[in-house]
């Protein structure tokens, strides 16, 4: 038996993360092939692993068969994300999903009210795209391009008109006017007040469903039947006002997401054959040179080849200060060139830039439903029919015991209002979308409400060391000299290392330059692989490297040198010996250093409720333990291979609860996948980082780790507050409505007031700022 790994995106040309059903179909079809023993899929890494008998099916034949099957699945099953116009209430979501899923050939449907997007998968052999679109349009919705602003302004205008007519009706009853004037104005208020709720009710009834709008319309017209036109007008005014405020809240949250889209430049200034010309960004190919003037946004990702400037990278990384750019530095689409002219060689086409991927992933995130949202939708789905049944009971039963019919009817209409779950329906989506938008503006990419809620419930944070907690680059931290000054040790070492690209060499040269030492590059430089480097400085041979290298040259090390080397290594440092002629000048100690304010960032995690901090690293314990002690972590697991990190995360999950894994998205990929929450740092420059984690921190600022955990905690608090308020008001209104304690106008006021409060409470997350650290405030 042999194992063959296949690239899943190549085999199955759809987003494997978005359609687990198609991945499962592919796995099942491959398992049926003669000679295939087992098939496993890792969608997060995009790997398809097949165990096969090469005597029965050669690996090359397997790959061809897998491509054929994958293409057949992709051709048969269509996956679309549609922009909808007219999706103006949470009930519309339930109506659409309920209606579409009943069409033959529909495999799955997910509608997201907050982003006005519909995700659908269907079998093209059973249903056509035209039939799907026709069914959507039959319900009164249109497919549209992304627009900002929404219909809340129109709804608000109708609501204010209803309010004006209601107020006029009330004043007409106080003034010496004809008796019919006041009722006529109240009845006129029904037209603008019921306009949008009635339209939504008709859509729902077409789909054979009842919704919250229908409850309100029935209650309002029921009040009219009882000749209580004033109360019905007040109901429709306040309900339409609450509906408009809800639409406004959703529009504000959507604008926070779509603001990222507006950063994407549409044109680029390209130099072709020595002539500059402005062309659409889609026409620029990798390898071409674009010119960016001061004050312009960089249109495409690329490498600076000419010019020096400062660039505002806040839209991508969230960095508050401009970043200096010079030749060989990378720049990102959507960032702002501030000072000088830059010539940039394009490295990615427009559809693959970091900003384009961010936009795509943020839109996907806003279309996903969090656990809390799924819960509230389930409640609302059964609550509305239950309310209608309860109202019918209140209407039918009390008259049997002597209660006047008109009073029972009035209580039933009031109950329809009291128990309508309007606030409950928007309790979660407005909070989640606001938080995702806020995170995106702060350089943190959250791939959906589920991950945001998970971030708010994390118990343990496991962190990779190199490149995550530390800079990932060695730095000279100690120099031991024998009979000469430390500067002389560094000067001689830097002379030999001057032209080397080895990380240790760059660190030694940088340390010498920081001390202002004059460096004359050595000659006859020769690298000894795995041991060090040789050269000639001032006519004398120089060796820089390990004890094995020095002893191999026939030099006996003084007794104190091995002891000093052991001491440096015990404290987690790399020891490099500097030999000039036959004299050991000294030892240079190098170590990877913790990131700036790393300790503060980890302390903030504890303040946000994280119980345990764990380092998982492939480095040796001698290297990891000093870093862990400096940062104050609770546990260090060193010397781990990638598969051992996976095992460690699983152990933490079983022992401690919810675990977030923080890494670089490449060698930590398997551990990121098995953790409750996978978080990647520095994703703005990584090819796979945006795809391999649930949350991506777009720069190397560890402070954003505590920021996203804090935002997750805040989002959970707001969701719980909203749910408590929405459910609490429903219970209160029901308990006071059935006995007749609460009047219809009072029920309307409390019901619509709770909806507005829930919307405004969710919008608070757009302005989220973490509280000041107790450590930094001391």
Q: Catalytic residue positions?
A: 464
DSSP class of residue 765 equals: G
What token pair was written down for 706?
Answer: 């505590």
Length of the chain: 778
Q: Residue 325: beta bridge partners? A: 309
- For residue 242, the SS3 value is helix
The strand ranges marked E within 392-551 are 444-446, 460-463, 470-481, 523-528, 532-537, 540-545
Burial string for 562-593 (b: 16+ CB within 10 Å, else e) reads eebbeebeeebbbbbbbbbeeebbbbbbbbbb
Distances (CA, A) of 221 to 48, 149, 186, 396, 417: 60, 31, 12, 18, 12
Distances (CA, A) of 554 to 537, 549, 550, 557: 19, 9, 7, 10
Q: What are phi and psi of 278, to 5 degrees?
A: -95, 125
CA angle at 650 for the pair 649 and 654, rounded to the nearest 5°? 115
Say if residues 405 and 222 touch (Cβ distance below 8 Å).
no
| Count of beta carbons in the 10 Å neighbourhood of residue 560 | 11
Cα 370 to Cα 112: distance, rounded to the nearest angstrom = 11
DSSP notation for 542-598: EEEE-HHHHHHTTPPPPTHHHHHHHHHHHTTPEEEEEEETTEEEEEEEEEEEEPTTH
DSSP notation for 624-647: HHHHHHHHT-SEEE-S--HHHHHH
Cα 52 to Cα 355: distance, rounded to the nearest angstrom = 41
Say if residues 698 and 683 touch (Cβ distance below 8 Å).
yes
């Amino acid at each position: 038996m042999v194992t063959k790994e296949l690239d899943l995106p190549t085999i199955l040309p759809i987003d494997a993360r978005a359609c687990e059903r198609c991945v499962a179909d592919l796995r099942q079809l491959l398992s049926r092939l003669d000679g295939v023993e087992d098939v496993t899929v890792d969608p997060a890494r995009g790997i398809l692993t097949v165990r096969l008998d090469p005597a029965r099916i050669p690996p090359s034949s397997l790959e061809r068969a897998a491509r054929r099957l994958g293409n057949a699945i992709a051709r048969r099953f269509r996956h679309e994300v549609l922009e909808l116009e007219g999706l103006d209430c949470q009930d519309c979501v339930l109506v659409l999903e309920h209606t579409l899923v009943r069409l033959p050939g529909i495999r799955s449907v997910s509608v997201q009210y907050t982003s006005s997007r519909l995700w659908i998968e269907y079998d093209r052999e059973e249903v056509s795209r035209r039939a799907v679109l026709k069914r959507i349009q039959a319900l009164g919705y249109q497919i549209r391009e992304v627009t900002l602003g929404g219909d809340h302004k129109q709804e608000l205008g109708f609501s204010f008109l209803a309010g004006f007519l209601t107020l006029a009706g009330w004043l007409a009853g106080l003034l010496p006017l004809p008796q019919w004037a006041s009722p006529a104005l109240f009845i006129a208020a029904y037209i603008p007040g019921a306009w949008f709720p009635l339209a939504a009710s008709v859509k729902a009834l077409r789909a054979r469903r009842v919704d919250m709008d229908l409850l309100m319309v029935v209650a309002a017209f029921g009040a009219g039947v009882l000749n209580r036109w004033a109360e019905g007008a007040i109901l429709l005014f306040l309900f339409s006002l609450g509906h408009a405020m809800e639409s406004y809240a959703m529009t504000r949250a959507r604008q926070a997401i779509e603001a990222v889209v507006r950063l994407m430049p549409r044109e680029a200034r390209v130099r072709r054959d020595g002539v500059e010309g402005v062309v659409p960004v889609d026409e620029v190919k990798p390898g071409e040179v674009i010119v960016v003037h001061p004050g312009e946004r960089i249109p495409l990702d690329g490498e600076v080849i000419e010019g020096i400037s400062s660039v505002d990278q806040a839209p991508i990384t969230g960095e508050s200060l401009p970043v200096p750019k010079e030749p060989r530095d990378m720049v990102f689409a959507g960032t702002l060139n501030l000072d000088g002219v830059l010539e940039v060689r394009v490295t990615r086409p427009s559809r693959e830039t970091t900003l384009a991927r961010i936009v795509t992933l943020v839109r996907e995130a806003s279309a996903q439903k969090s656990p809390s949202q799924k819960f509230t939708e389930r409640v609302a789905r059964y609550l509305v029919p239950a309310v209608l049944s309860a109202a019918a009971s209140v209407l039918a039963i009390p008259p049997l015991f002597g209660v006047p019919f008109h009073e029972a009817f009035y209580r039933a209409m009031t109950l329809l209002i009291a128990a309508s779950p309007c606030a409950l329906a928007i309790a979660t989506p407005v909070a989640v979308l606001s938080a995702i938008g806020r995170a995106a503006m702060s350089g943190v990419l959250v791939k959906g409400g589920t991950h945001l809620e998970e971030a708010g419930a994390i118990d343990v944070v496991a962190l990779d060391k190199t490149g995550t907690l530390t800079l990932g680059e060695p730095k000279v931290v100690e120099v031991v000299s024998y009979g000469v000054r430390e500067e002389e040790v560094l000067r001689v070492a830097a002379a030999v290392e001057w032209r080397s690209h080895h990380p240790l060499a760059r660190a030694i040269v940088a340390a010498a330059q920081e001390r202002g030492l004059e460096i004359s590059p050595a000659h006859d430089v020769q690298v000894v692989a795995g041991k060090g480097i040789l050269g000639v400085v001032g006519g004398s041979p120089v060796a820089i490297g390990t004890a094995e290298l020095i002893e191999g040259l026939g030099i006996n090390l003084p007794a104190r040198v091995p002891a000093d080397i052991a001491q440096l290594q015990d404290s987690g440092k790399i020891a490099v010996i500097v030999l000039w002629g036959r004299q050991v000048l000294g030892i240079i100690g190098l170590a990877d250093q913790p990131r700036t304010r790393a300790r503060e960032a980890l302390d903030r995690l504890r303040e946000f409720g994280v119980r345990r901090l764990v380092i998982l690293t492939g480095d040796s314990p001698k290297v990891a333990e000093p870093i862990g002690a400096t940062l104050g972590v609770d546990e260090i697991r060193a010397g781990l291979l990638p598969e051992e990190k996976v095992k460690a995360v699983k152990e933490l999950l079983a022992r401690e609860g919810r675990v977030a894994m923080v890494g670089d998205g490449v060698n930590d990929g398997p551990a990121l996948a098995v953790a409750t929450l996978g978080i990647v740092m520095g994703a703005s420059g990584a090819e796979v980082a945006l795809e391999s984690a649930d949350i991506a921190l777009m720069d190397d600022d560890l402070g954003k780790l505590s920021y996203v955990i804090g935002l997750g905690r805040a989002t959970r608090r707001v969701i719980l507050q909203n749910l408590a308020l929405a459910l609490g008001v429903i219970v209160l209104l029901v308990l006071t409505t059935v006995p007749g304690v609460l009047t219809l106008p009072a029920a309307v006021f409390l019901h619509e007031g709770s909806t507005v409060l829930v919307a405004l409470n969710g919008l608070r997350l757009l302005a989220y700022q973490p509280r000041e650290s107790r450590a930094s405030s001391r």
